[in-house]
Amino acid sequence: MSIFFVIVAGVLWGTMSLFVRNLSDAGFDNYQMMLVRSLLSAVFFGLAILFTDRKKFIVKLKDLWIFAGSGILSLAFFSVCYFAAIIECGAGTAVVLLYTSPVFILILAFLLFNEQISAVKIAAIIMAVSGCTLVAGFDGASSVSLKGLLLGLGAGFGYALYSVFGKIPLKKYSVLTLIFYTFVFASIAMLPFIREIPVKIYDGSVLLLCGGISVVCTVLPFLFYSAGLKKLDAGKAGIFVTVEPLVGVLTGLLWWGESIDFIKAAGMLLILCAVLICSFDRVKYFLRKHGFKSRMIVDEILVDMKKENGKTGGQDMFRTWMNVPDKNPVNEKIIVIDAGGTNFRSCLVSFDSEGKALISDFEKKAMPATEREYSKYEFFEKIADNIDYLRDKADKIGFCFSYAMNITKDHDGIPNAFSKEIKAKEVLGVPVGKCLRQVLEAHGWNKIQKIVLLNDTVAALLAGKTLSKDYDSYIGFILGTGMNAAFIDEDNSFGDGRQIIVCESGKCDTVPLSDFDVSADKKTDIPGQYPLEKCCSGAYLGKVAFEMLDFARREKLFSRRTCENLREITSLTTIETDDFLQGKKDNPVYRACTCEYDRSVVFQLFDAAVDRCARYASSILAANLIACGRGKNGKKVCITLNGTTLFKTYRLRERLEKYLYEYAYRKCGISYETVTVEDDITTGTAVAALV
């Protein structure tokens, strides 16, 4: 349907001459036609904002010049030229000349943004100029007048200016805001040229023409084109919308009886070929060439989740033998340990008589075994030393151990892999709770009733329960240094009864990997493991971005000087990648780029990596929503989100929310609510020790 919507938009735009010529015959000049079109369109889009989101009316005074530029220098100028060209040289010729705009965009990008022009694009410019020469003709009988040619090219140039002025405000404002104020300023620009109201303005057929030039040739095509862009990238949309000049030419031939000889047809064909060449997107071709795909992978994750126990690859579905409590705890004290990434945190959590969690005695230290290989004895001795200040302050310990592990029925945890560069091979395969209890008792701890092991996603899930809202089920999701999720198997779909299931989502191996992912994986300490996590998590996102940058440098997507500068960059972190996307100039990649064009290419590459991260993360959540089997009875599933990568990376959470809504709610009809809970890991871990 997306392609259909874009084609419909092109067809509607291509019918412009039907309204322009008839309005001209009714006594309207070009300025009056433009005023009618822009004013009615401004009213429509203004009403759309009024009834959807009034905040979109708000713009900063310092930004008004941008909207004035898009409305006056672009829309008003190109429309007046285009209307005049239709009358002067015919619908078919005018619409083809309008489509020289990509060539003007190419030239403007070179002059204003120092964008490099390749040999292929130079050939496109030559083709466009040659096409215009052929369209202009060589004899008086079939030639286009110089005035008509200049008007058509003026329309193309004005339309190209929209890409300059239209690009700037979209960094701050919505498309609706841009369109509304563009039409407002275009209307204002026409007022000085309006000397009188056409006599036939009140004629019924003329009123229909006025409505048609606004609704049929502006509002509807905009809506169809916007709908098409939701699931179709801009490059493909630009190709399919070139049906507009075809419709314009056919309208001229069939409706107005215009004639096109062989030379003029050849010129039109050259112009259209030049447009297609200029529309070629090097960055998107580069990404496709290396197998980089940004799409939802829910089906792949669900297939991987349903593999039999004991599988040799893919994500593990760990049973926790734990459920959410019916009520929040009261009048309890728990020692909490939170070990994950490079940090080791510990504290005391006290629940008061109203169930409110109070955190005290908090300490943060380095995670054991990050600096060198630890033996089993050293590992647990270091943990015991780290929490010795909490000795005997409570008889229950909640231990959030955020690494892949099997949970036993007595709530101990047996780690099977360390994904975050922890160096403690002897700890793999041993019960963490039992070993820690032995060491603590050797240190003189007298009253340890139990030690409960869980990972951070279970803690996040349990923290959602403390919100005391009537949810249908719960999910926990972490996207920080690592990445995984947990849900409640409400219908016993995975066997062993209703309980919280931990999905080691980062280990999912049914996802497509690009050349960048494969190259980055080979340079890690654990090649071949955690393929999905290495596409998304904070520990690896910067590494993938570096490979994208390095591949692009070697394939000369940048200017020569930028390629030389980028050679000096040998690695990137996720923070450095995000700094570039956030526009921070104190950044090695920003300094390496010698022109705005090169920076725009880097931005597209890094932004593609973040967008894929958002799609993959939302796919994990959608798969968990489907697996839990709840959220379709009028009640919502609570999703507790956590993780610095998710919250701090450029537009990552915004996109995750968008993609999850489109798939889970719009496509699958599952109701949910995403929440954040203060101190969720600490609170949830304390709750786990009491379950």
Question: Could you read off the pLDDT of 477-498 as tens digits, one per residue?
Answer: 999 988 889 999 998 888 888 9
Task: State the average pLDDT for the chain.
Answer: 84
User: Is it the case that residue 588 has pLDDT exceeding 80?
Assistant: yes
Count Cβ atoms within 10 A of the Cβ of residue 141 and give its class: 0-12 exposed, 13-18 middle, 19 or more buried. exposed
* Buried-state track 544-575, b at ≥16 Cβ within 10 A, e below 16: bbbbbbbbbbeeebbbeebbebbeebeebebe
Euclidean distance between CA atoms 516 and 289, whole angstroms: 11
Here the tokens at position 256 are: 């107005």
Token reading at 289: 């060439």
Residue at token pair 């270091």? 382
> Is pTM beyond 0.85 here?
no
Q: Rounded to whole angstroms, what are the CA distances from 201 to 23, 27, 154, 192, 592? A: 10, 9, 28, 19, 59
Token output for 137? 């003709």
Q: What span, in angstroms and rounded, lies between the C-alpha atoms of 169 and 71?
A: 13
User: Which tens digits make up the pLDDT trace of 36-56?
Assistant: 888 888 998 899 889 888 888
Helix 16-25 vs helix 204-214: crossing angle, to nearest 10: 140
Task: Choose among 192, 217, 185, 152: nearest CA to 73.
Answer: 185
Check pLDDT > 50 for residue 138.
no
What is each CA distance from 203 to 15, 107, 198, 211, 212, in whole angstroms? 22, 45, 10, 12, 14
Does pLDDT of 233 surpass 60? no
Whether the CB-CB separation of 270 and 144 falls below 8 Å is answered with no
Instruction: Check residue 424 and give left, alpha or beta (phi > 0: left; psi -120 to 50: alpha).
Output: beta
Element spanning 468, H or E: none
pLDDT at 310: 46
Q: How many Cβ atoms are within 10 Å of 142's Cβ, its own excluded?
A: 14
Q: Rounded to whole angstroms, how far apart are CA atoms 676 and 424?
A: 32
Cα–Cα distance, 66 to 71 (Å, whole number): 9
Higher-confidence position of 85 and 390: 390
**In the prediction, which pLDDT does 140 show?**
46
| Calpha distance 114→460 (Å, rounded) | 48
CB of 513 closer than 8 Å to CB of 527? no
Q: Report residue 117's pLDDT band, with 50, 70 and 90 as the boundaries.
A: low
CA–CA dist 509, 315 (Å, integer):
7
Task: Please give the Cα distance from 176 to 161 (Å, whole number).
Answer: 19
Calpha distance 187→45 (Å, rounded)? 13
* Phi-psi sector, 469: left (phi>0), alpha (psi -120 to 50), beta: beta
The CA distances from residue 525 to 68, 340, 419, 481, 539, in Å, are 55, 18, 9, 15, 12
The CA distance from 295 to 619, in Å, is 9
8 Å CB contact between 431 and 462: no
The contacts of residue 228 (CB under 8 Å, 6+ apart) are 2, 3, 4, 5, 6, 9, 237, 240
CB contact at 8 A, 102 and 279: yes
> What's the token pair of residue 501?
């299931």
**Residue 382 exposure: Cα atoms within 13 Å on the Cβ side:** 18
β pairing state of 450-454 and 473-479: unpaired
* Res 535: pLDDT: 92
> Strands 317-319, 500-503: parallel, antiparallel or unpaired by DSSP?
antiparallel
295, 146 contact by CB (below 8 A): no
The secondary structure element, H or E, covering residue 459 is helix 456-465
Q: Which of 62-66, 434-438, 484-488 has the lowest mean pLDDT?
A: 62-66
* Residue whose pair of structure tokens reads 């949810």 in the numeric block: 471
pLDDT for the residue numbered 454: 95
Give the integer Cα–Cα distance in Å for 271 and 335. Answer: 73
Helices (H), 230-363: 234-240, 243-254, 262-278, 282-289, 298-305
Determine the pLDDT at residue 197: 67
Which is nearest to 470 in space by CA: 676, 635, 688? 635
Helix (H, G, I), strand (E, B) or coil at 97: helix
* Neighbour tally for 230: CB within 10 Å: 10
Q: Which pLDDT does position 414 carry in this prediction?
A: 94
Radius of gyration over alpha carbons of the chain, in Å? 31
The Cα–Cα gap between 45 and 214 comes to 11
Per-residue pLDDT, 432: 96
Rounded to 5 degrees, φ, ψ at 278 are -65, -25
CA atoms of 214 and 79, how far apart (whole Å): 12
| Crossing angle of helices 262-278 and 119-136, rounded to 10° | 150
pLDDT of amino acid 664: 96
* Secondary structure class of 594 (helix, strand, coil): coil
pLDDT tier at 90, thresholds 50, 70, 90 = confident
Give the lowest-confidence range in 401-410, 635-644, 667-676. 401-410
Higher pLDDT, 262 or 385: 385
Q: Which pLDDT score, from 0 to 100, does residue 154 have?
A: 86
